[in-house]
Amino acid sequence: MQDINIYIVNKRQNTIFNLTYETVTYKSNDTLLYIGATSKYIFIRDTKSNINLIFDKGNIKNLSITEKRNTKK
């Protein structure tokens, strides 16, 4: 998986996501963190249950990923 990008630093994410996989919608929050993606998969970390969720992009109905901007100077 050489094309995966890691977007979690110290359990804080700099990416906001919203995806609908088959019929279930997942949104970024304090416990669901976007890890990254490959050409075929999206990776989400559930820190509450300590599991990684892996979504096949072929079954994703809706997807938005936005990078947070750091406003501190």
Q: Is 55 inside any structural domain?
A: yes
Tokens, residue 6: 């890691």
The answer to the question of residue 34 being in a domain is: yes
> What is the domain range of residue 44?
8-67
**25 in any annotated domain:** yes
Report residue 72: phi and psi, to 5°: -80, 145
Q: What is the pTM of this model?
A: 0.73
Question: What tens digit of pLDDT does each residue of 10-68 get?
Answer: 555 678 899 999 999 999 998 898 888 899 999 999 989 999 999 999 999 999 988 87
- How many Å apart are CA 40 and CA 60, to the nearest integer? 11
Q: Are 26 and 33 in contact (CB under 8 A)?
A: no
CA neighbor of 35 nearest in space, from 55, 13, 50: 13
